[in-house]
Structure 1
Amino acid sequence: MSSASFYETRDLSANAYAALMKRSEADLSGFMEKVDPIIAAVKNEGDAALVRFGQDFDGAKPLTEATLKVSEAEFDAAFDSVDAEVIEAITYGIANIRSFHEEQKPAAMWMKEIRPGAFAGDRYTPIRSVALYVPRGKGAFPSVTMMTAVPGVVAEVPELAIFTPPTPDGSVDAATLVAARLAGVGTVYKCGGAQAVAAAAFGTQTIKPALKIVGPGSPWVVAAKRRLSDVIDPGLPAGPSEAIIFADDSVHGGLAALDLLIEAEHGPDSSAYLVTHSRRVAEEALAALPEHWAQMSEQRVAFSKAVLGGSSGGILLTASLEESYQFINDYAPEHLELLSTAPFEHLGHITEAAEILMGPHTPVCIGNFALGPNAVLPTSQGARTYGPLSVHDFVKCSSIGYVTRPAYAEMAKHARVLARYEGFSSHENAVSPMRDKYLGAN
């Protein structure tokens, strides 16, 4: 049985080390050209193009223009078809996600007295409309619905709409509909891929255009977001799954291998590395993989083997803890586990990771489904400048200023000096005796 790629930092050239950093969406040049005709068709034809692409790309032959939007009857039927324990798990996860994100919600407005009689602050208002993308290509993801919908609802966005690919029978995954309704989103469109991004950007006969789109997706989705970034805010860069499992010598390598497979099973375009300075841990992990694969479905085994045996995953043995930290910070992973009985000893050394899950009892899947922090995260080294999806992605900030009559003279004096220096005569005039004349008249 094939196993994972095995690397040692001492054997890696600079080019080989850099190659380990590459993700599947790093080069989207081939996708950019392919999404152009899809985008054009949706812009020009609207619903008709969405139906055609749903039939051709998703195999949803029963899909029609009349059924692009999920009906109330379909929502009701979803609750009848989903097992009670699944509904309970979704309800539990949503409660935790809501509790977490309510803490993120900023005050509607704050102001500070900068100088006596002069006030400044911020005012937060929700974005008017946001599209939530929920992928379905390699499985059903009600968890993504939970993670995208809840912060939008907490932020009080007036118009939230979920876009997700239809199934071959022309429906939407039932658990996804359950999660949508329980989270508080009642608009779901049967539309995925690049065509969904285009529909969200331009709108169609059925679909209202949105100002922003959030949620993870395939390279097709990422390419369309980039192509349409001048039409719709594409949100944080969220592509195929990636994870680093860091393990020190306090844990068994079999546990590290178990967690290494979590993100590796998403699909062949995922990325997953075990990073450790312990040769024992690395060898135990390699030995445990066949045992773990024996307990997985055939499709997920194939996906994870493609990742771990390919150029975007495997086991990396470093020469020291410091080398492990360096690799993690260079990689800037979407998901990071600090698999250790003393994870806080390592936390201070990590600066570049979108999500950090600590200790043997916090595997990535608990973060994905149940804990509360958002699992829609920046990929492809996006963690260097982006954080997780949050309530802040659904609101916008306006600066607020208010200067009273007693504070005006001092403020005007300094503003006038800088306006003159920068050569802006109207700036200067607006805080000159010209203004005093009008103020005096009042």
Structure 2
Amino acid sequence: MTDVNVQRLAGLSPEARAALVRRSEADLSGFLEKVAPIIEAVRTEGDAALIRFGREFDGAEGLTESTLKATEADFDAAFDAVAPEVIEAIRFGIGNIRAFHEEQAPEPMWLKEIRPGAFAGDRFTPIESVALYVPRGKGSFPSVTMMTSVPGVVAGVPDLAIVTPPGPDGKVDAATLVAARIAGVETVYKVGGAQAVAAVAFGTGTVKKAHKIVGPGSPWVVAAKRLLAGVIDPGLPAGPSESIILADASVHGGLAAMDLLIEAEHGPDSSAWLVTDSERVVEQALAALPELWARMSPLRVEFSRAVLGGSAGGIVLAASMADACAFVNEYAPEHLEILSREPFEYLGEIRNAAEILMGPHTPVSIANFALGPNAVLPTSMGAQTYGPLSVTDFLRRSSIGYVTAKGYPEMARAAGILAEYEGFSSHAIAVSDLRRTYLKE
């Protein structure tokens, strides 16, 4: 038996059930207080603050203003440092991610004749500058570089820049630089945390100001995005990792336990639940966990044990699969796996999930690294209103209208009536007979 949080859904009080869906960044009050002076320091001191915080928070003693931005030599050295099979895996993943997002990209413009002689449509143009946040605190994440860079490149954003924490040696993770170059991004700043969000929001001597920032991060990053939302577009809410493995009796509980650990190993602030209506699946999962932990590195065991034994992870036993699906919708997970021999049987019951992975051959691992759909996903119930990061997150949509002389009379009559009703005199005058007078002249 393992020290894992197991809950019976039917016996929970409303308060206990609400506690199950609570995320680590739900209460950011403590972080907001700590982040505010960091933001102010970056705003007033610029690069000097970034150097100080890089040394204080990341241990990057060798960081200087001249090394805040990765050089071409840094990129070249990264390709020498990363194993060929890792580079090949990055190329494979980026190829699939690019193919998916090219298919996803909207037409640059469309127009439809709404009424005879009256046309309306949309035009999509790239945002001028977007910062891509790539975390590093609990590991190295070239996959996040892949997922944030490729849709920005496909969208045609002219100014894409990665911000990522430096290591103690003052350098960027080598695989992150490899992924950035293969994806098509050559600007990388060695700055992370709340100070990175502030740097791209205000701009510094080295770091260029951006219109938007995308990418997942710690509660410090989430708090900084929230405080700076009036200065920079913070993008979709992407905090610590979270997942639900929805399993029915058609699969082995060991398979469910294996996939449950995928997101649980990210860190102690992650959330990971196995939700099932099968007592057998629960028993098999609990029995399999010790063997799985024996195969993992000590750090990842520590993280996943903390998650599965705490209040933000474990196993939920539902009375039925209908009840299990209802809990999934209530939770609105970032990642959802439907572990079943017949996964499409449950797909219609799922309303709130940012990513839905179907069947026993589609673990989160494949989606995170290689399949193609974007793995930067909304967290903390963001799936109720947001979708995954996409090409459209890097685009601006403008409405287009064009009314010809043929279409004008009908449109003007309706607009004039409503303008008069709402009491807007100049609106009404603009579509009155006076317009025809000026047009004739």
* TM-score normalised to structure 1 length: 0.99
Question: 1:178 corresponds to which residue?
Answer: 178
Is 1:252 aligned with 2:226?
Answer: no
- Aligned position for 2:433: 433
**What's the CA shift for 1:9?**
1.2
Q: Which residue of 1 aligns with 2:213?
A: 213
Letter of the structure 1 residue corresponding to residue 301 of structure 2: V
* 1:3 and 1:289 in contact (8 A); partners too: no
Contact 1:115 1:407 survives alignment (8 Å): yes
Give the 5 Å matches for 1:25-424.
25-424=25-424
Q: Specify the code of the residue in structure 1 equivalent to 2:73.
A: A
Distance 2:218 2:395 in 1: 26
**Deviation per CA, 1:231-257, whole angstroms, max 9, x where unpaired?**
000000000000000110011000100
1:43-76 deviation per Cα after TM superposition (whole angstroms, max 9, x unaligned): 0000000000000000000000000000000000
- Tell me how far apart the structure 2 counterparts of residues 207 and 174 of structure 1 sit (CA, whole Å): 20
Question: Does the 8 A contact of 1:3 with 1:286 survive in 2?
Answer: no
Give 2:130's aligned amino acid. V
Paired residues of 1:2 and 1:305 also in contact (CA < 8 A): no
* Contact 1:152–1:160 under 8 Å retained in 2: yes
Residue segments in structure 1 that go unaligned for 5+ positions in a row:
none
State the partner residue of 2:10.
Answer: 10
Deviations 1:189-218 (Å, cap 9, x if unpaired)? 000000000001000001110000000000
Which residue identity is paired with 2:7?
A: Y
- Structure 1 residue 407 displacement after superposition: 1.2
Retained in 2: the 8 A contact 1:3–1:290? no
Name the CA distance, whole Å, in 2 between partners of 1:244 and 1:409: 56
CA shift for structure 1 position 3? 2.4
Shift of 1:10: 2.4
Letter in 2 for 1:416: G
Name the SS of the counterpart of 2:302 in structure 1.
Answer: helix
Tell me the secondary structure at the aligned position of residue 336 of structure 1. Answer: strand
In 2, the alpha carbon distance for the partners of 1:128 and 1:77 equals 30
**SS in structure 1 at match of 2:120:** strand
SS in 2 for 1:144: helix
SS at match of 2:406: helix
8 Å contact kept, 2:2–2:286: no
Q: What CA distance in whole angstroms lies between the structure 1 residues aligned with 2:239 and 2:411?
A: 48
Q: Give the drift of 1:2.
A: 4.3
8 Å contact kept, 1:239–1:380 = yes
The code of the aligned residue for 2:50 comes to L
Hey, what's the Cα distance between the residues in 1 that align with 2:217 and 2:66? 26
Offset at residue 13 of structure 1 (A) = 1.1
- 1-side partners of 2:410 and 2:10: how far apart? 64
Contact 1:245-1:339 at 8 Å conserved across structures: yes
Residue 117 of structure 1: CA displacement?
0.9
Query: How far, CA to CA, are the matches of 1:415 and 1:11 in structure 2?
Result: 58
**Aligned residue type for 1:246:** L
- Structure 1 residue matching 2:111: 3-state secondary structure: strand
Letter in structure 2 aligned against 1:289: L
What is the CA–CA distance in structure 1 between the aligned matches of 2:204 and 2:354, rounded to whole Å? 35
Q: How far apart, CA to CA, are the structure 2 residues paired with 1:115 and 1:256?
A: 55
What is the letter of the counterpart of residue 241 of structure 1? S
8 Å contact kept, 2:242–2:334: yes
Please tell me the residue identity of whatever aligns with 1:346: Y
**Do 2:2 and 2:289's aligned partners in 1 also have CA atoms closer than 8 Å?**
no
User: In 2, distance between residues paired with 1:418 and 1:80?
Assistant: 68
The alignment partner of 1:406 has SS state of coil
User: C-alpha deviations, 1:103-151, integer Å up to 9, x for none?
Assistant: 1111110000111111110000000000000000000000000000000
Cα distance in structure 2, aligned partners of 1:413 and 1:265: 63
Separation of aligned partners in 2, 1:87 and 1:3: 38
1:9 & 1:247 partners in 2: Cα distance?
15
Distance 1:304 1:341 in 2: 27
Query: % of aligned pairs identical?
Result: 73
Q: Which amino acid aligns with 2:330?
A: D
Contact 2:68–2:191 (8 Å) recurs in 1: yes
CA offset at residue 368 of structure 1? 0.1
Q: Aligned partners of 1:315, 1:207: CA distance in 2, in Å? A: 44
CA RMSD of aligned residues (A): 0.6
Secondary structure at the aligned position of 1:131 is classed as strand
CA distance in 2, matches of 1:421, 1:323: 50
User: Which amino acid in the other structure matches residue 266 of structure 1?
Assistant: H
Which one is further off, 1-10 or 342-351? 1-10
Unaligned 5+ segments in structure 2 are none
Q: Check the 8 A contact 2:153/2:184 in 1, yes or no.
A: yes
Judge conservation of contact 1:132–1:160 (CA < 8 Å) in 2. Answer: yes
**Cα offset for 1:14?**
1.1
Distance 2:258 2:137 in 1: 24
SS of 1:316's equivalent in the other structure is strand
Residues 146-191 of structure 1 deviation map (CA, whole Å, 9 limit, x = unaligned): 0000000000000000000000000000000000000000000000
Tell me, yes or no, if the aligned pair for 2:122 and 2:399 is still in contact at 8 Å: yes
CA-to-aligned-CA distance 1:291-331 (integer Å, 9 cap, x gap): 10000000000000000000000011111011100100000
State the Cα distance separating 1:11 from its structure 2 match: 2.2
d(CA) in 1 for partners of 2:15, 2:411: 56
